[in-house]
A = this chain, B = another copy of it.
Amino acid sequence: MTDDARRSSQEDAINRIRQHHREVNVDALCDAIISGDRKSLSEAITICESTNPRDATLASQILLKCLPHSGKSVRVGITGVPGVGKSTFIDSFGTYLISLGKKVAVLAIDPSSEISRGSILGDKTRMERLSMQDMAFIRPSPSANSLGGVARKTRESVILCEAAGFDVILIETVGVGQSETAVHAMTDFFLLLMLAGAGDQLQGIKRGIMEMCDGMLITKSDGDNIKKAMAAKAEYSSALHLFPSRENGWTPQVDVVSSVSETGIDKAWSMITQFVEWQKARGIFDTNRQQQDINWMHQDIRDRLISEFYNSEENKLQISDAEKLVKEGKMTAFDAASRVLSKKL
């Protein structure tokens, strides 16, 4: 399916729901989701992703009903630069988890997808094996005009997938922007995929991402690459030890993995389960999630206060005038802000 065809079929689906949404029986839909019906899950996510204000009430009702059934999965964030092999890793990793009897959902946060028309997860065929599994659910990145919007929709999808009984939620993102912070703030474990390479291995990874990760995997550790991958593992291990210990006291682990030779995939999962058990033993797993939820509430409040202010046409003019005055050194930043806020420019 081409990108355009995919988008148009997605829009068709949204339109169908728009037309019929008054007929949606929230109770029946939620019961179907909770019983694990994938079609109902898809439909509910589409309603939550809809930008039609009439769907907002419906989305709220669905989420409220699903909320008590959510929270039981392990939420794993996965990031890495383009080319690191995220899709093939997720394909192998998800298939492995299914072999352990887990139900696996794959979501994505990609704020650029509106422009690039789905640069990640745009095409399910990038995860060939996983997409054919009944135990897997793959959902492309929602489109929205802001990272805040994308992040919110993804958080809601997590709730719905959990209500549908998925045991592991993998949230993919591209390691080049602000979206990692958003993924980090909604997951239990943050996994960074890295390429082995001489010298400038950290190139392309935005500063700070390395310090957010709970574990790191060097990908493509196969054939001639194994030696380089092992060297990178040693280098990153010592680099991660150089960084101050996490607030929680955990030292991130580093390992090598190959999606081609299927090696190290199991180690990725044991890395995650060790971390989860370690957190649960300290009682910080649940408090961490509660704190994440409360943080998201405050984040939403702040985002929307600011976006409402900045989206007002009157304020836009004032802000543009204020920027000119500040740039020309005719007004202090604080004075300009005061005048914009009091609409006195």
Residue numbers of A with Cβ under 8 A of B are 60, 63-64, 67-68, 70-71, 152, 155-156, 159, 201-208, 211, 239, 242-244, 290, 293-294, 296-302, 304-306, 309, 319, 322-323, 326-327, 329-338, 340-341
Pair A335/B239 contact, Cβ less than 8 Å:
no
Supposing A242-B239, A327-B290 touch, asked if A301 and B159 sit within 8 A by C-beta, the answer is no
Pair B337/A300 contact, Cβ less than 8 Å:
yes
Pair A64/B331 contact, Cβ less than 8 Å:
yes
Pair B64/A300 contact, Cβ less than 8 Å:
no
Pair B293/A335 contact, Cβ less than 8 Å:
no
Pair B206/A244 contact, Cβ less than 8 Å:
yes
Which of B329, B330, B333 contacts A71 (CB under 8 A)?
B329
What residue of chain B has the Cβ atom nearest to residue A67's Cβ? B329
Task: A70 to B332: give the CA distance in the assembly, Å.
Answer: 11
Pair A309/B305 contact, Cβ less than 8 Å:
yes
What residue of chain B has the Cβ atom nearest to residue A301's Cβ? B337
For residue A244, which residues in chain B have a CB less than 8 angstroms away from its CB? Answer: 202-207
CB distance from A236 to the nearest CB of B (A): 10
Task: A304 to B302: give the CA distance in the assembly, Å.
Answer: 11
Chain B CB within 10 Å — which of A159, A207, A306 has the most? A207
Pair A336/B297 contact, Cβ less than 8 Å:
yes
Supposing A242-B202, A290-B327, A304-B341 touch, asked if A333 and B297 sit within 8 A by C-beta, the answer is yes
Supposing A293-B326, A294-B326 touch, asked if A334 and B156 sit within 8 A by C-beta, the answer is yes
Pair A305/B304 contact, Cβ less than 8 Å:
no
For residue A302, which residues in chain B have a CB less than 8 angstroms away from its CB? Answer: 302, 306
Task: A242 to B236: give the CA distance in the assembly, Å.
Answer: 10
3 cross-chain pairs, A with B, having the tightest CB-CB distances, nearest first: A300-B337, A296-B333, A297-B333
Pair B290/A332 contact, Cβ less than 8 Å:
no
For residue A326, which residues in chain B have a CB less than 8 angstroms away from its CB? Answer: 290, 293-294, 297
Supposing A294-B326, A302-B306, A327-B294 touch, asked if A332 and B207 sit within 8 A by C-beta, the answer is no
What residue of chain B has the Cβ atom nearest to residue A297's Cβ? B333
Task: A242 to B199: give the CA distance in the assembly, Å.
Answer: 7
Task: A264 to B156: give the CA distance in the assembly, Å.
Answer: 56
Supposing A64-B335, A309-B305, A331-B64 touch, asked if A202 and B243 sit within 8 A by C-beta, the answer is yes
Sample 30 A-B pairs with CB under 8 A, ordered by A number.
A60-B332, A60-B335, A63-B335, A64-B331, A64-B335, A67-B332, A155-B332, A155-B334, A156-B334, A159-B332, A202-B243, A202-B244, A206-B244, A207-B208, A207-B243, A208-B211, A294-B323, A294-B326, A294-B327, A296-B333, A297-B326, A297-B340, A300-B333, A300-B334, A301-B309, A301-B337, A301-B340, A302-B302, A302-B306, A306-B306
